[in-house]
Structure 1
Amino acid sequence: MPNLIRLLALCPLLCVFFSYASTNAIPLKYNISASGSHYPYYTNNPKKPGILPEIIEKVLDGANIEASHVDLPTKRITKYLQNEVIDFDVISLEWLPKSERNDPHYVFSEPLIYATEMIVTLPQNANNWQSADNLKGKNVGTVLGYYYYDDNTFERVDFPSEKELMTALSRNRVEAALVGKLTALYWAKQLDMRIAFGAQHSHGFLTIRLLSKHKNLLPKINQAIKNLHSQGYIKNIEDKYILNTGSLN
């Protein structure tokens, strides 16, 4: 009888313990670093890591999911996800060819933030790039390992990161590049170069792309994202970084 009483006394404590235990028995692995210079989304600065690291950490915390970030070269991220070495990344469906947007290997979360990708060029060349159709058959600056939904229509000229791509643009190694709008503004400011925007190449929400085998975690992830939006947390994080991206003026 005394043992039974002690066991009953422990039950509330056990319930509290399990309520705080991770939803997933095995920690997930993920990558959101992209090229490592994808400001403002990822900065490679531990003190101010970028929009995505700050948001993803809060989403995982809110969803009670244990996970760790894995640093990978950009060109390996997709392969590692396909081979299930990592469990999720962050992507915009607008970056993918339409044939890949319903891949049953993955499930996608609620929207995180908008991302706009532009044709970026130097001011004197801006008139040549006011339509996305102008990319066809041309050499276009891109980032190694990145998705571009129409890259079968132009010749990719890959660079290791946005910083190196923008540097190449400033030196006329390429006339046009595909770069996120905020990222282009930031690196133009850092590199003290003048740029112009041509046509918009893609625009859509960034979402978490999760392996389908973990789809049971998606409702908790989505609820955490909704909570962060409703609390204004995601907007505040965006504002914190976007103020430092610069402008064309």
Structure 2
Amino acid sequence: MRYLALIIVLLATEALDANEISTVTIVSDIWAPYVTNNPKTPGIDVETALAVFELMGIKVEYRTVPWKRAQQMVISGRADALLDASKNPKRLTQYWFPDEPMGYSVSTLFCFKCNVNTPISSELFTNKKLIINRGYSYASELVDDSSIQKLTVNSIESGIELLQQGRAGYYLLNRHVGLYRLKQLGITDIEPLQANTNSPAPLYLAFSRKSDLKTLSENFSNALKEFKKTQSYRDILYRYGIRDY
């Protein structure tokens, strides 16, 4: 562990010398348990990013704002990095992406008093509707299937209510996000299916395409990769009840 800490410190020194950046501004939208609005438990990825930058000797100014605004702030250079962004062809031209992701997003179907061992297929939606979140980017063919009737909601609470009312059969949601919110609400009769709707999709701290942030993104990637080997990182995951991120 002592040698691992030394590696991270050396990477941090390299990052600071290369960029001469003392403070970065990070923005994101609330997406618990990855990003929250609770200062005591700000989220898995918030705590991880803060810890890595602290080891790099860089201070962080962190703000939660609506997702569209967060993207524009980073694209325009008013903020330095966007937390928990996925890659797509357009974003690759808008941000610097580190090689190392913060973690991986996996979605599944949540249902009310159902058989969680049910395999996922379009046949599930015969006479049943699918709930999706407005403005959310899903890595699932179910969303693009025109034969499936869909109900769009603005919040997880609204989606949960539709399930409980029997107005829809399934709710497509990130597995950890859904489980975390259900636990907070004390709801036990809504559960996720065992199967996932997509392969694990990496999420990144995407940096503004300023010239001085390209090197910082590379050095952050190296420091993050080493930090994930530490007990400190495992402690962050355990605080949020997650072991497979």
Same fold (TM > 0.5): yes
User: Could you say which residue in structure 2 is the equivalent of 1:124?
Assistant: 114
SS of alignment partner, residue 240 of structure 2? helix
Deviation at 1:50, TM superposition (A): 1.9
* Equivalent residues of 1:135, 1:153 under 8 A apart: no
- Which aligned pairs between 1:139-150 and structure 2 lie closer than 5 A? 139-150=129-140
* Equivalent residues of 1:89, 1:210 under 8 A apart: yes
Superposition RMSD in Å: 3.6
User: Could you say which residue in structure 2 is the equivalent of 1:174?
Assistant: 168
User: Could you say which residue in structure 2 is the equivalent of 1:216?
Assistant: 215
User: Could you say which residue in structure 1 is the equivalent of 2:95?
Assistant: 106
- Which aligned pairs between 1:1-249 and structure 2 lie closer than 5 A? 23-24=20-21, 27-32=23-28, 34=29, 36=30, 38-91=31-84, 93=86, 99-100=89-90, 103-109=92-98, 110-124=100-114, 130-131=120-121, 139-150=129-140, 151-153=143-145, 157-189=151-183, 190-198=185-193, 199-202=195-198, 203-213=200-210, 214-242=213-241
Deviation at 1:79, TM superposition (A): 4.0
* Equivalent residues of 1:121, 1:175 under 8 A apart: yes
Aligned residue pair count: 218
Separation in structure 1 between the aligned mates of residue 209 and residue 48 of structure 2, nearest angstrom: 22
More off after superposition, 225-234 vs 81-90: 81-90
Structure number with larger C-alpha Rg: 1
- Unaligned stretches of 5+ residues in structure 1: 1-18, 245-249
TM-score by length of 1: 0.70
Letter in 2 for 1:192: I
Separation in structure 1 between the aligned mates of residue 117 and residue 239 of structure 2, nearest angstrom: 33
Deviation at 1:123, TM superposition (A): 3.1
CA pair 43-72 structure 1, distance change in 2 beyond 3 A = closer
* Equivalent residues of 1:74, 1:146 under 8 A apart: no
Percent identical among aligned pairs is 22
Deviation at 1:229, TM superposition (A): 1.4
SS of alignment partner, residue 146 of structure 1? coil
TM-score by length of 2: 0.70
- Unaligned stretches of 5+ residues in structure 2: 1-15
- Measured against aligned partners, the alpha-carbon deviations of 1:140-168 in whole angstroms (never above 9, x if no partner) come to 32333321135444566443333443233
* Equivalent residues of 1:74, 1:144 under 8 A apart: no
Letter in 1 for 2:26: Y
Separation in structure 2 between the aligned mates of residue 65 and residue 160 of structure 1, nearest angstrom: 36
CA pair 143-84 structure 1, distance change in 2 beyond 3 A = farther
Deviation at 1:46, TM superposition (A): 1.3
* Equivalent residues of 2:129, 2:167 under 8 A apart: no
Letter in 1 for 2:156: E
Deviation at 1:45, TM superposition (A): 1.6
Separation in structure 1 between the aligned mates of residue 65 and residue 101 of structure 2, nearest angstrom: 24
* Equivalent residues of 2:27, 2:79 under 8 A apart: yes
CA pair 164-243 structure 1, distance change in 2 beyond 3 A = same
- Measured against aligned partners, the alpha-carbon deviations of 1:69-121 in whole angstroms (never above 9, x if no partner) come to 2221244333444444433223364xx6x6447x2222222122333211212
* Equivalent residues of 2:207, 2:214 under 8 A apart: yes
Deviation at 1:215, TM superposition (A): 1.0
